[in-house]
Structure 1
């Protein structure tokens, strides 16, 4: 009968054990899948964000350097020229752009390439000797940008290399001239990604695509991928890709089991991740498709990284399996206690106890040890024969024994399971922390016959808890001593945490910040709008980094670099955002100062040629809308060479400064005054109709020049030739400058002839 009952219990045990193990395994698989999906989303977001950052940098660089008006002017002339004249313009353009190009290619870009509207290559900055080839057949991006006359950006394989390309249309006076291309290689992208994730990055490209697009010489720049057949990698990527986080031998070992798992997934052309278990360590390999401008998948961005969370999930599953097994074994033991024959029951209990790795003991109501397993004997550091028949007081420290007797009494009085933590010290000075669990067992009449006790060594867990508490303290210290102001805002815009740097930034205490709405203590134009970081993150944004104007409670304005990221709870639910504020007011002021320096002539304090062209063009547009009269004056010092040759260049600089002072005296502060270069000056005037004229301007200038010469404070006479023209409807600024320049040179010629006649009369 007892044997049949044992077999029945064993069958039930195995069924329950199998069901629970199945549920645990399913839960583990689901947890791993959700985790991998979240990692994949984060990697895709960072990859897209990096591409967007480089696109912004390319647009800024193209506008500020490679699409400047003087560069476009040379390109426009070259579009109309041919032969030697076109070669001369190509060389002039190359010489002008080379310093900027060299600086950019050291860190960011691979090449800059100009193409005419018909797809003909005009200038490759990286290969200036190669030009005049037709790119429409091999470069869809160039064809689209020129035929549709729009900006084109994306990944593309060229004749010799692949790159992330940015192609911008070039126009002059409304006419499409062609395009300029700025591109960056993959190893620049991977370098930026490694600053976010400490992983190894590679770009594998389809061999069929490369063979179709690359020249035989270009194919020599690629080698077969060590990961999967049918894909190639660029030599330059392999040379500059490693960050030293995983060595090449380890990556080769990861690739070996990875190959068989990914071939079908690569054909699908979608993002995916694959984990590899190697030497007890999980590695996660991410595959993100790289799509060409034409829409086809060209290859994959592959990242390798060690992954501790996956290892923790697996270990957690194993621990859960162990605990379930222990629980079922304990339940199994308790169900057998109603066996009529105590000897048979105790025999079974001994076998059961020996099969459990946890220390287990049995005591009667008086606290005398009836039985224990080997694990309990090892924990007590006594042989089993010296344990059986003894009380706690004779086995362990009296204080601990008294604590255990009190726990035994609770179990017997309540008839329920009890537990508590116990610290045990050994004679050799070592000690352990245990979680002691005790439960009653009853006789056949249902009365409490004794106690079954088990213990779990929680020394490591307590140590981990202490370390975790220390880590929290350290994180709090790092949070409060961070160089930038940081705050955490919930989904109702209420501040739930702020560091000391943020409180110092806004001039409030932590109590005055926490609990209030975020826009009450540090507001800005985007607050309570759709542009608010909290609103954008709730709509799906993963990370935002913007420059924003913020206002302190005092009303003072700050320019800040604001970084906003989602703040998730323990269950992965979005509960708010984390905002990081860096005060960049000083940098913005410095940037404004540098901008002013870039358009100002250092000697005279007037605008330089760049400043004049920029502001005069803007003033011309404003004047046309306001229907103002507009005048342009070109002026030139007549005796500049004579002053430099006879009185020295310092006096020449004084003459230029004197001319600038006369112009400031003659014209209004609203007029645009500039030194175009050397001894040439220009003034652009916009005024209400009828308030000024060419003759009035000439009279004022001549009067102020005469007054300067009458004062006689300079070791030279001031002689200025100038031409004054009125703007005619339909003219451009360039045409106006040509007319003024012609009149000025006519004036200079007349002045020179007049001086020669006077000298002839005197001679």
Structure 2
């Protein structure tokens, strides 16, 4: 209802504004002040025309350079041209190729830029695509350029240069661009030039003005020179602007120039001689307008002349007939506005009726109050809810009789609460324990100080029950998770943590808030935190259960071993919603298993490997020797006389000797070699990838030396004596590690037998 009123007011103001605008325009057409404003605008247009034209042409020149001269084939030819400077024949061929590639584009671009040249990186002219013409005759090319400071600047600075320059007796605006090859090497300069006449034509089209250039070759200082410049330079044959047929309309005729001359005051004539900017109101050929003189500079920054322009101004006159016609049109418009207003009033009434009907079809009660807290509207559901009629509700003095306390909220209270209040009540209706929520919203009519209230009532009993049930369910779920002996963490599909239980927190020790909403392993990270091996990442992709053992660091920095299980969980429609992680600390069990495994493979007395450990580690190296054909040796060692030592010195002394001999073996061989005690007095050493060469298969020189050193330092009644046998792996003789060890053992027995016989 409020929106309909605002729309009507807006339409009324809109049509009043239209009528006011038309009347104002009518009076402005015959107002002298408007003419003065138009003259000021013409002056600003003339001053800005030349600058904006230069900016437009500069932009076009830059675009032409980028489109025409910076693509691959052209850059390649320019690069070749620099390399062929000392080869006239090759240079001429390159010129022809450039001419062929650029000629078709030049037919289009020459309409604005009639001169386009290509220079080598030393400044020599390579190619002149266009020719200048004057009075139908081709102007001969001159070697070098006149006042060509732009080319010099580019050669020195390797940056673009722009400015006015004189060439072959003609003033041009010239744009020089350095060219670089793919290796960023300077290879050429491109010149794109536009005659002043073309600039004059563009400026004339933009501002509907006529102009003439007054030019000189250098700044004029002496008074006599200034007068001569003023009288003669615009007609001099040495310094002229091309005049094509399509440019005649943009030029001031000699008669127009003379008329402008005669209208100059001494002060304005002095400004012209000094090449200073000025403007005056003038009349040419009986037409009022504005004459503007705009100085122009050459590429060196010197004033070399200026552009004298004339912009005509217009003035509207309205005859009595036209005045009467406009008056009749205004009357007709007024009638149309009145008809529209009447039709709009009827439409607004229909809109109000439709609005009320829309409210009535809504199933929940809606009511409206004004700024005096009085009802001025409601829907049918609201009347039925309170069981009253529309007349009873809208009788202001009797509202309180039917209105429940929950609906007695004032506009001031709503305004104080920020424009919105929501109230829940279970005694809104008699004999009804349902819970209702009443929402109040403050509204204001656009463009007025009147305020009101819009409210609605909804039954939230079911929502309340559902919410309480959901809270209870979540509480039960949390309690169940917290009593589990496993750590539980839940991720969403983005890898963010959404839930952890108490056991998980106790396992890692981190703050719950640090873990929630954090990335997968942002804090409690493991040693598999990489997409290629991460089970969590694989689980998101493969949607399969994963169980791994990994190491994680807790809050104290301890590295503990955990058994972790990942499994996806699904929604009702069987879509993956996230991943559940179950974690169990197995550090103690893992340590015991590792210790048992070590004991199984280690000799308890000496600390070196036992036969099981020897075979377990040695098989891998043996297979590597088979595949890679690398050297592999088996050294069999027997400690001689252990039975006698045990009988005479005691078993403990024998065991101590074996321990000392094991240390000798550790100091003799590399860490990569495998040392094992395989019997009471028998040891085996496996050497992989060794450069050892067998000279005597019953001696290992380095070991014998260490044994002699040991005997020399030992103050005992006995000496350490060993028998050794060393065999190198041979593919034809040794099919497995056992056969290699057996051959080494055989050498020891043979050596022992020979010593017994001797």
- Bin of the TM-score, shorter chain as denominator length: 0.3 to 0.5
TM-score calculated relative to the size of structure 2: 0.36
Which structure: larger Rg?
2
TM-score calculated relative to the size of structure 1: 0.36
